[in-house]
Amino acid sequence: MEQKLQTLRTKLKDVSNLERAAEVLAWDQQVNMPSGGVAARAEQLATLQTLAHELFTRDEVGLLLEDLAGADWPAASDEAALIKVTRREYDHARKLTPELVAQMSRTFSLGQQVWEQAKHEANFAPFQGTLEKIVDLNIQVAEAYGYETCIYDALLDLFEPGMKTAQVNTVFDELKATLVPLVQTISERVDLVDDSLLKQNYPVGAQWDFGLEVLQAIGFDLRRGRQDKSTHPFTISFSVNDVRLTTRLTENSFPSSLFSTLHEGGHGMYEQNVAVHFDGTPLMGGTSLGVHESQSRLWENVLGRSYEFWQFYYPQLQACFPAQLGQATLDNFYRAINKVEPSLVRVEADEVTYNLHIFLRFELEQELLAGRLKVADLPAAWNAKMQSYLGLTPPHDGLGVLQDIHWSGGLMGYFPTYTLGNVMSCQFYNQTLHDIPDLKAQFQRGEFGALLAWFRQHIHQHGRKFTANELIQQITGADGLDAQPYLTYIKQKFGQIYGV
**Which residue number, 296 or 427, has a Cβ lying nearer to Zn ion?**
296
Assess 296 for contact with Zn ion (CB under 5 A): yes
**Which residue number, 415 or 454, has a Cβ lying nearer to Zn ion?**
415
Kindly indicate which of the ranges 296-304, 321-329, 351-359, 442-450 contains the residues binding Zn ion, using the contact rule CB under 5 A: 296-304
Residue 196: Cβ within 10 Å count: 7
Burial class (CB in 10 A: 0-12, 13-18, 19+), 32: exposed
- Smallest gap from Cβ 247 to Zn ion, in A, equals 12
Question: What is the secondary structure of 250-286 as a DSSP string?
Answer: -TT-HHHHHHHHHHHHHHHHHHHTS-GGGTTSTT-S-
Helix axes 354-369, 378-390, angle to 10 degrees: 150
Considering only residues 431 through 490, tell me which ones interact with Zn ion, judged by CB under 5 A.
Answer: none
For Zn ion (CB under 5 A), the number of binding residues is 1
Q: Do 378 and 364 form a contact (C-beta atoms < 8 A)?
A: yes
- Smallest gap from Cβ 191 to Zn ion, in A, equals 31
- Smallest gap from Cβ 256 to Zn ion, in A, equals 14
Kindly indicate which of the ranges 101-109, 117-125, 278-286, 291-299 contains the residues binding Zn ion, using the contact rule CB under 5 A: 291-299
Could you give the CA distance from residue 352 to residue 497 in angstroms, rounded to a whole number?
12
Nearest partner of 469 among 146, 157, 69, judged by Cα: 157
Rounded to the nearest 5°, which phi and psi values hold at 163? Answer: -85, 145
User: What type of residue sits at position 489?
Assistant: Y
**Which residue number, 106 or 346, has a Cβ lying nearer to Zn ion?**
346
The SS3 of residue 401 is coil
- Smallest gap from Cβ 444 to Zn ion, in A, equals 26
Kindly indicate which of the ranges 194-202, 289-297, 319-327, 334-342 contains the residues binding Zn ion, using the contact rule CB under 5 A: 289-297
**Which residue number, 296 or 419, has a Cβ lying nearer to Zn ion?**
296
- Smallest gap from Cβ 436 to Zn ion, in A, equals 24
The SS3 of residue 463 is coil
Considering only residues 50 through 89, tell me which ones interact with Zn ion, judged by CB under 5 A.
Answer: none
* Catalytic choice (19, 160, 264, 293): 264
- Smallest gap from Cβ 320 to Zn ion, in A, equals 26
Could you give the CA distance from residue 171 to residue 424 in angstroms, rounded to a whole number?
11
Rounded to the nearest 5°, which phi and psi values hold at 459? Answer: -125, -60
- Smallest gap from Cβ 294 to Zn ion, in A, equals 10
Q: Do 353 and 390 form a contact (C-beta atoms < 8 A)?
A: yes
Could you give the CA distance from residue 277 to residue 81 in angstroms, rounded to a whole number?
13
Q: Please give the angle made by the CA atoms of 77, 459 and 308, to the nearest 5 degrees.
A: 160
- Smallest gap from Cβ 18 to Zn ion, in A, equals 25
- Smallest gap from Cβ 296 to Zn ion, in A, equals 4
Residue 139: Cβ within 10 Å count: 18
Please state whether 123 falls in left (phi above 0), alpha (psi between -120 and 50) or beta.
beta
User: What type of residue sits at position 490?
Assistant: I
Assess 261 for contact with Zn ion (CB under 5 A): no
**Which residue number, 195 or 264, has a Cβ lying nearer to Zn ion?**
264
Mark out the alpha helices in 57-124 (DSSP H runs). 59-69, 78-94, 98-121
**Which residue number, 273 or 296, has a Cβ lying nearer to Zn ion?**
296
**Which residue number, 150 or 347, has a Cβ lying nearer to Zn ion?**
347
**Which residue number, 415 or 489, has a Cβ lying nearer to Zn ion?**
415
Instruction: Draw the binding track, 226-255, toward Zn ion (x: CB under 5 A; -: no contact).
Output: ------------------------------
Rounded to the nearest 5°, which phi and psi values hold at 32? Answer: -120, -30
Q: Do 472 and 478 form a contact (C-beta atoms < 8 A)?
A: yes
Q: Do 299 and 262 form a contact (C-beta atoms < 8 A)?
A: yes
Instruction: Draw the binding track, 173-202, toward Zn ion (x: CB under 5 A; -: no contact).
Output: ------------------------------
Residue 20: Cβ within 10 Å count: 19
- Active site (annotated) includes residue 264: yes
Kindly indicate which of the ranges 89-97, 109-117, 152-160, 295-303 contains the residues binding Zn ion, using the contact rule CB under 5 A: 295-303
Kindly indicate which of the ranges 51-59, 111-119, 288-296, 354-362 contains the residues binding Zn ion, using the contact rule CB under 5 A: 288-296
Residues facing 229 on adjacent strands: 247
**Which residue number, 296 or 408, has a Cβ lying nearer to Zn ion?**
296
- Residue of minimal CB distance from Zn ion? 296
Active site members: 264
Q: Which residues bind Zn ion (CB under 5 A)?
A: 296
